[in-house]
């Protein structure tokens, strides 16, 4: 059992661990208004593609509960509007849109039912999505843990643990399953500028599991690889195109290029809800651009001259030819991805 949860539903409330405050403080936010869920997603109080998906579904359920109408048609129209508002919170992680499509589909499938029943269905669906996410992550971790071998030194970027998901984790879940299977290895944790998901969150989670790690500045990865100190790279994903091109936290592409240059296998772990089969390749993935203040300031303190220009792309896209394998709950897809991913999708 993980001794914390990223998000849960608690009698008409969403409870989420405020990741902006970690590791200094463990504070759970209790939210009853869907606008606050949008704010939590936007400001990264809750983050990581699968966790964003669950938060979107729970936010939609909260929004539904607040609708004061007994007319099913009016309810459906106003519910769609709420879903559109939630969809605008962040653009890259496709799990957000996947989750909203699913809850909107549920309302459409039960069109005309009494509003009270529709609300109950939406609350139950959001809770089911949280549960499913854990089951999927555990399956994915079992499917992928064979890539982790005794004594390996593994590098990871950003945070992909229980915090970034409903529970257990994606890339970190694979490491956790390998550790629980008795393998002993160590992890290089990229700090992950500018919001330090690696330094603040991945170290926190690895520490709780007991996996030995060493935190490094993002810029140190190449030197460690050149010294022969890295055996494998593993990351999560925010959106994977039909050809396997993968959007993940800014800096991931750099890790993949470096790994390729040094002959180190680079793996991605992500649930099928992170795949976007509607786009042929990564050039179609919308990349979030966040405020430059996240780069020019650290904890509110300026680290650049006043007025300094900063470009803050939150994600980059790793071309699939740099990826040794994509670990999913359906198994590990290998190149060529156009066909292996299609087969996975069909199950």
Distances (CA, A) of 75 to 71, 128, 342: 6, 22, 37
Window of 107-115, 222-230, 236-244, 329-337 that interacts with ligand MRU by CB under 6 A: 236-244
Q: How far is CA 347 from its chain centroid? A: 22
Which of 6, 145, 160, 320 is the binder for ligand MRU (CB under 6 A)?
160
197 binds ligand MRU (CB under 6 A): yes
Which of 170, 246, 296, 320 is the binder for ligand MRU (CB under 6 A)?
170
Window of 32-40, 77-85, 235-243, 332-340 that interacts with ligand MRU by CB under 6 A: 235-243
314 binds ligand MRU (CB under 6 A): yes
**What is the Cα–Cα distance from 10 to 212, expressed in whole angstroms?**
34
238 binds ligand MRU (CB under 6 A): yes
**Nearest CB to ligand MRU, comparing residues 78 and 297:** 297
Least distance in angstroms from the C-beta of 104 to ligand MRU: 22
Contact status, residue 134 vs residue 168, Cβ threshold 8 Å: yes
**Nearest CB to ligand MRU, comparing residues 64 and 258:** 258
- Dihedral sign computed on CA atoms, order 131, 66, 288, 191: negative
**What is the Cα–Cα distance from 323 to 286, expressed in whole angstroms?**
20
Distances (CA, A) of 46 to 18, 53, 199, 341, 344: 7, 10, 16, 29, 29
**What is the Cα–Cα distance from 250 to 242, expressed in whole angstroms?**
21
> In the β-sheet with 246-249, what is the strand arrangement from edge to edge?
275-276, 239-241, 246-249, 315-318
Binding to ligand MRU in span 25-54, by CB under 6 A:
44, 47-50
Fill in the DSSP letter of residue 162: G
18 flagged as catalytic:
no
133, 190, 218, 238: which is the annotated catalytic residue? 238
Binding to ligand MRU in span 255-294, by CB under 6 A:
none
Least distance in angstroms from the C-beta of 167 to ligand MRU: 11
Interacting residues toward ligand MRU by CB under 6 A:
44, 47-50, 93, 158, 160, 164-165, 170, 197, 236-238, 248-249, 314
């Amino acid at each position: 059992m993980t001794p914390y949860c990223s998000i849960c539903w608690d009698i008409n409330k969403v409870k989420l661990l405020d990741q902006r405050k970690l590791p200094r403080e463990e504070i759970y936010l209790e939210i009853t208004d869907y606008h606050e869920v949008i704010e939590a997603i936007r400001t990264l109080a809750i983050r990581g593609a699968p966790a964003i998906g669950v938060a979107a579904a729970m936010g939609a359920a909260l929004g539904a509960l607040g609708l004061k109408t007994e007319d099913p048609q009016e309810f459906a129209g106003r519910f769609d509007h709420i879903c559109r508002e939630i969809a605008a919170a962040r653009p890259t992680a496709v799990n957000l849109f996947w989750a909203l499509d699913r809850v909107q589909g549920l309302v459409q499938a039960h069109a005309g039912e009494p509003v009270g029943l529709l609300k109950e269905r939406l609350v139950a669906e959001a809770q089911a999505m949280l549960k499913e996410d854990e089951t999927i992550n555990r399956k994915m971790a079992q499917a992928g843990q064979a890539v982790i071998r005794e004594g390996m030194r593994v590098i990871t970027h950003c945070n992909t643990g229980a915090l970034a998901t409903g529970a257990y984790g994606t890339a970190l879940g694979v490491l956790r399953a390998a550790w629980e299977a008795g393998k002993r290895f160590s992890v290089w944790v990229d700090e992950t500028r500018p919001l330090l998901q690696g330094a603040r969150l991945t170290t926190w989670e690895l520490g709780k599991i007991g996996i030995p790690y060493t935190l490094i500045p993002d810029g140190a990865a190449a030197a460690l690889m050149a010294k022969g100190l890295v055996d494998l790279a593993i990351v999560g994903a925010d959106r994977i195109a039909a050809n396997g091109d993968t959007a993940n936290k800014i800096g991931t592409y750099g890790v993949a290029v470096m790994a390729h240059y040094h002959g180190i296998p680079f793996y991605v772990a992500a649930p099928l809800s992170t795949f976007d089969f509607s786009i042929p390749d990564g050039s179609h993935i919308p990349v979030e651009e966040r405020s430059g203040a996240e780069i020019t300031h650290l904890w509110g303190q300026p680290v650049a001259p006043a007025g300094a220009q900063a470009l803050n792309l939150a994600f980059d896209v790793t071309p699939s030819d740099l990826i040794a394998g994509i670990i999913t709950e359906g198994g590990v897809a290998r190149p060529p991805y156009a066909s292996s991913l299609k087969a996975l999708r069909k199950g």
